Amino acid sequence: MRAMVLHHQGPVDGAPLRLEEIPVPLPGPHDVVVRVEACGICRTDLHVVEGDLPPAKMPIIPGHQIVGRAVRLGAEVASLKEGDRIGIAWLRETDGDCRYCVAGRENLCEAARFTGYMDDGGYAEYAAVHEDFAYPIPEGLEPVHAAPLLCAGIIGYRALRRSGLQPGGRLGMYGFGASAHITAQVALHWGCKLYVMTRGEGHRALSREMGATWVGEAADTPPEKLDAAIIFAPAGELVPRALEALDRGGILALAGIHMSPTPSLNYERHLFYEREVRSVTANTRQDGQELLQLAAQIPIRTHVETFDLDAANNALARLKHDEIQGAGVILV
């Protein structure tokens, strides 16, 4: 099969991914092999490729927003059949019996494994996953639009829940890329007002088009206090600004897996009146199931730009430089 393979981490502008012919993965007893139709491009892929995240497996095939058809099943697979359309997300394995898994917090499992980082992902013609971590994808949802839901959507949804936002509330969004433009649709469905702070006129234009109440530059102050805020950009310097924009009792959720250093905080200016900061670590399968159900109900419309498999380096470079409006998707 063809795959874009990373042998050494480095700047994406140097095209570190190489197109190679490698064997199709073989399924374990409970695994399903998927013929990849589409794979979303995520900023986490960029962190893996460029070394913001330490190497976990080399060489590695990135990509963890995978949609495809099951083409081969392990001998003991019971929940799927050949031809099913399924999705593969970032979280691909947990031990299932640690205190976090038992408490419904499997995203914190210390034995968790992640697609496109610890095991090969979807920048390839085929990928494999355990049946328990495969998401059924409705037939009416096109692969190119479903793929961004499997990380950008799921993580944004978890960040929304972590922010404590209530229907009708005021939500601040810092950054407006793939994850934010999906999360915004959920918040608007809940009757919330959106205040978007982001760099790049293209991102600001998209947020206005989608119904934001107010739109400004990344460092601007919204015109009224916020009930909740989410930082999607990997920019630690935004944390104090976002906290200052919160109303009393407001919660700031940090949606990224990686963030630049956060400046020191002043207790009275940033945290007093029971303002909170909450990080987001991966997702649970329940997050994914709930988000996919909402996607069908609302329905969520993903704005996508598509790329060929051999253009993955270029796609990641464009993501790095904020040149993709909405979500980038590799069509395999």
CATH code, 91: 3.90.180.10
Q: With contact defined as beta carbons under 8 Å apart, do 37 and 86 qualify?
A: no
Q: With contact defined as beta carbons under 8 Å apart, do 156 and 131 qualify?
A: no
Judgement on whether residues 142 and 260 belong to the same structural domain of the protein: no
Q: With contact defined as beta carbons under 8 Å apart, do 9 and 55 qualify?
A: yes
Judgement on whether residues 146 and 167 belong to the same structural domain of the protein: no
267 or 257: which leads in pLDDT:
267
Q: With contact defined as beta carbons under 8 Å apart, do 144 and 306 qualify?
A: yes
Judgement on whether residues 94 and 162 belong to the same structural domain of the protein: no
User: What distance in Å separates the CA atoms of residue 226 and residue 228, rounded to the nearest whole number?
Assistant: 5
pLDDT on residue 256: 86
Give residue 308's domain range.
2-151+283-331
Judgement on whether residues 14 and 147 belong to the same structural domain of the protein: yes
Confidence check: pLDDT of 200 > 90: no
pLDDT on residue 25: 97
pTM: 0.92
Confidence check: pLDDT of 141 > 90: no
Confidence check: pLDDT of 96 > 90: yes
Rounded percentage of the chain residues whose pLDDT exceeds 90: 95
User: What distance in Å separates the CA atoms of residue 208 and residue 226, rounded to the nearest whole number?
Assistant: 18
Structure confidence at residue 258 as a pLDDT band (50, 70, 90)? confident
Model pLDDT for residues 44-53, shown as the tens digit of each residue: 999 999 999 9
258 or 263: which leads in pLDDT:
263
Which of 97, 92, 96, 83 lies closest to 28, judged by CA?
Answer: 92
Tally of domains in the chain: 2
Cβ–Cβ contacts within 10 Å for residue 111, how many?
12
Q: With contact defined as beta carbons under 8 Å apart, do 38 and 330 qualify?
A: yes
Confidence check: pLDDT of 139 > 80: no
How long, in residues, is the chain? 332
Confidence check: pLDDT of 10 > 80: yes
The overall average pLDDT reported for the chain is: 96
Judgement on whether residues 275 and 205 belong to the same structural domain of the protein: yes
Judgement on whether residues 147 and 288 belong to the same structural domain of the protein: yes
CATH number at residue 217: 3.40.50.720
pLDDT on residue 291: 94
Helix (H), strand (E), coil (C) string for 114-163: EECCCECCCCECEEEEEHHHEEECCCCCCHHHHHHHHCHHHHHHHHHHHC
Which of 231, 159, 246, 156 lies closest to 196, judged by CA?
Answer: 231
Model pLDDT for residues 265-294, shown as the tens digit of each residue: 999 999 999 999 999 999 999 999 999 999
Confidence check: pLDDT of 320 > 80: yes
Judgement on whether residues 122 and 207 belong to the same structural domain of the protein: no
Q: Helices H, strands E: what count in the chain?
A: 9, 17
Confidence check: pLDDT of 154 > 80: yes
